[in-house]
């Protein structure tokens, strides 16, 4: 069966510090991978998605970036965090091929990021 892992679960960082959040998926190959941010009262915001190694699509201009160095690994990074980067970050995946046309999306447990 497939599983998705996100870490860390919680993170407290000062403004201006770097960020690296990691997500890995097991039990499948070439998944579509996603990073979302969930802020209070604003719903889920898609930040990045990837349909393959090195293929990253950015949805929102910001000081965050994403990379996919391996097939089942997705990393969210920042060089300098802003206060507005606080939130709940979720990684998700869907099977390859039909994508969201016919397949449900599966989420990790999330990372709660607080910027001080």
Where along the sequence are the contacts to other proteins (CB under 8 A)?
6, 32, 41-44, 46, 49, 51, 57, 59, 88, 90, 92, 98-110, 112
Pick from 95, 20, 4, 6: which is nearest to 51 by CA?
A: 95
Tell the smallest beta-carbon distance from residue 22 to other proteins (Å).
Answer: 15
Nearer to other proteins, 18 or 52 (CB): 52
Nearer to other proteins, 51 or 79 (CB): 51
Q: What is the dihedral of CA 80, 82, 88, 92, to 10 degrees?
A: -40
Nearer to other proteins, 16 or 52 (CB): 52
Q: What is the dihedral of CA 39, 42, 45, 47, to 10 degrees?
A: -50
């Amino acid at each position: 069966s497939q599983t998705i892992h996100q870490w860390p679960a919680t993170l407290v960082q000062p403004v201006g510090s770097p960020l690296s959040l990691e997500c890995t998926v097991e039990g499948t190959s070439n998944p579509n991978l996603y990073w979302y941010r969930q802020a209070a009262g604003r719903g889920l915001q898609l930040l990045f998605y990837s349909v393959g190694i090195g293929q990253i699509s950015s949805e929102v201009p910001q000081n965050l970036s994403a990379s996919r160095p391996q097939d089942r690994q997705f990393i969210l990074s920042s060089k300098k965090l802003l206060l507005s980067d606080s939130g709940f970050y979720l990684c998700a995946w869907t099977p390859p091929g039909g994508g969201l046309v016919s397949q449900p999306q599966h989420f990790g447990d999330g990372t709660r990021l607080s910027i001080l």
